[in-house]
Amino acid sequence: MPTVFFAFRDAPERRAALRSPGALDRYRLFGLDDMRARGADVRHNLERGRAPLWARAVANVANRALHLTGGYGGDFGSVLGSLRVLNRADVVFATADTVGLPLVLLKRAGVVRPPVVYTTIGLPERLLQVRRRRLYADALGSASTIVTYSQAEADWLGVWIGQRAPEIVFVPFGVDVDAFSPHPDGSIDVVSVGADPQRDLMLLREVAVRRPELRFGVVTTKVLSRALEPLPVNVVMETDVPLERVRELLADARVVALPVRRNSYSGATTVLLQAMALAKPVVVSRTDAIASGYALEDGVNCRLVEPGDADAFEHALVETLADAKGLGERARATVERDYSWQRYIDALWDILSAAWVREAS
């Protein structure tokens, strides 16, 4: 029975998901339950409440040294605190850059022994800030596989790392098509959901001000909500709500609006797929993350608008509200065919399996 060690970014919502078997937001665990169901022995870096004092002390020194020399650090503490368990695993699965960078740096130094499969979300933005390119290229080259949720990010990383690049695989994200089943009728004109800092809430606010006759519902974090202040009278905002409430609001939308700033990694992908699974017409910014690889076609299964274009976004929203022309039904069909959670897990299992098989041979 293989052992898979999951390295997570430490966050309250992730710890809550770990405590709640069967919860809707178990997707935050990137398939931990599914790997266990397939027979893997699963361990992770959040099994203890906090990293031991020695690990936190070493982490502080490492992060300070990297920062002073123009590098990027991360959560060395929980990685080092789990080192004994981690090094007994057949494969280590880094689910975010916060733990991924420390893992590959420690792998390069010979401290981490098993193969590392590293999922990156927005790594190019971080790497553009580092001054020690050789160090990070070598460290990333020590990974068995790098997984991205964007083809554009995969292409960029291959060029940046160069000859040292490991296998880099684009894996489209997935959604539970049973948990997010069709809700075609809604009473809120426009709903927008997102906690990613790349969400363009200023653009959304501008559109809401222009269209006082439309009712907007917005879900975001308390920090990002400041971009909507002062809140237009036709906007109702909720912050830091559970996924069950997010699903309710998406289900009650006539149109889902997902404006995103231009960037390499974020296309509001998770919420986009959830809304599509609910058979909702979606207006979304055409960022690199979703421009290719997700079978999205403007006017066929969604509306795609260039990032930062408030006029085009407003026009697409109004046009879709007036006549969605089966957009939601085709969106649901696209997700069922290509972007189910099962398909995502199958891809991850194949990648993790290949990594430990290569190591064993």
Residues 257 and 348 in one domain: no
Residues 192 and 151 in one domain: no
Say which CATH number the domain at 134 has: 3.40.50.2000
Listed in sequence order, the residues at least 6 apart from 70 whose beta carbon sits closer than 8 Å to its beta carbon are 130, 131, 132
The answer to the question of residue 74 being in a domain is yes
Residues 125 and 256 in one domain: no
Structural domain count of the chain: 2
Supply the range of the domain harboring residue 252.
188-338
Per-residue model confidence (pLDDT) at position 361: 64
Give Dmax (Cα) for the chain. Answer: 65
The answer to the question of residue 170 being in a domain is yes
| Joined tokens for residue 339 | 């972007």
Element housing 61 (H / E):
helix 53-68
Per-residue model confidence (pLDDT) at position 315: 97
d(CA 113, CA 91): 9
Residues 291 and 249 in one domain: yes
Residues 150 and 35 in one domain: yes
The answer to the question of residue 58 being in a domain is yes
Listed in sequence order, the residues at least 6 apart from 290 whose beta carbon sits closer than 8 Å to its beta carbon are 150, 267, 268, 269, 272, 284, 296
Q: How far is CA 213 from its chain centroid? A: 33
The answer to the question of residue 182 being in a domain is no
Residues 302 and 345 in one domain: no
Local structure of residue 74 (DSSP, 8 states) = -
**Side-by-side strand order, sheet with 167-170:** 41-44, 3-7, 91-94, 116-120, 145-148, 167-170
The answer to the question of residue 181 being in a domain is no
Residues 52 and 166 in one domain: yes
Residues 270 and 350 in one domain: no
**Positions in the chain whose pLDDT score sits under 70:** 360-361
Per-residue model confidence (pLDDT) at position 184: 75
Per-residue model confidence (pLDDT) at position 252: 96
Residues 166 and 28 in one domain: yes
Residues 113 and 148 in one domain: yes
Per-residue model confidence (pLDDT) at position 23: 86
Per-residue model confidence (pLDDT) at position 206: 96
Do the Cβ atoms of 190 and 281 come closer than 8 Å?
Answer: no
Do the Cβ atoms of 91 and 4 come closer than 8 Å?
Answer: yes
Listed in sequence order, the residues at least 6 apart from 74 whose beta carbon sits closer than 8 Å to its beta carbon are 63, 97, 98, 99, 100, 101, 102
Q: How far apart are the first and last CA of the chain?
A: 16
The answer to the question of residue 98 being in a domain is yes
The answer to the question of residue 42 being in a domain is yes
Residues 154 and 193 in one domain: no
**What's 157-217 look like in SS3?**
HHHHHHHHCCEEEECCCCECCCCCCCCCCCCEEEEEECCCCCECHHHHHHHHHHCCCCCEE
Residues 143 and 280 in one domain: no
Q: Specify the 3-state DSSP secondary structure of 34.
A: helix
| Joined tokens for residue 17 | 């998901």
